[in-house]
Structure 1
């Protein structure tokens, strides 16, 4: 059974990885994860597989590139929170 995670909880999930890590290796870890977004959902493994860097040294780099990849509507209305803390 697959896992689901909200965008606001990705930091904890990315923190579980061993760094440095390639997008392909990270994608394999997340191939069963559905990322819940404000405007729908995406497979996290597929999103991570398409990230631009060859290697990530920390979860911060992954978070930055995921946020840069998602369309603006994926995170909700500007200045609004997801409401789940």
Structure 2
């Protein structure tokens, strides 16, 4: 069963892991997680393939690494404008 996790809920998911954590281990552990973006979704394991480091030292390190490879279009909230008026 797939777990859907919004980007703003990622911290909670990552704090449940033990660190340091190998990226390959994270891919296996979170292979059922679908990251929900503002404009769609993507399997977390696919996102982790784009991370350059091989080990996360902490949940914060993991989150930062993931946010650095998430598509820019996925970060905004649905219906959010670039500034009106």
Q: Normalising by the residue count of structure 2, what TM-score does the alignment of the two structures yield?
A: 0.84
The answer to whether the Cα contact below 8 Å between 1:23 and 1:50 also exists between their aligned partners in 2 is no
Unaligned segments of structure 2, at least 5 residues: 81-85
Q: How many residues align?
A: 78
Shift of 1:48: 1.6
Give the corresponding residue for 1:6.
6
Give the corresponding residue for 2:37.
37
The answer to whether the Cα contact below 8 Å between 2:24 and 2:54 also exists between their aligned partners in 1 is no
Q: Which has the larger radius of gyration?
A: 2
Aligned-partner Cα distance in 2 for 1:35–1:46: 10
Unaligned segments of structure 1, at least 5 residues: 81-85
Q: Which has the larger strand fraction? A: 2
Aligned-partner Cα distance in 2 for 1:63–1:57: 11
Q: Normalising by the residue count of structure 1, what TM-score does the alignment of the two structures yield?
A: 0.84
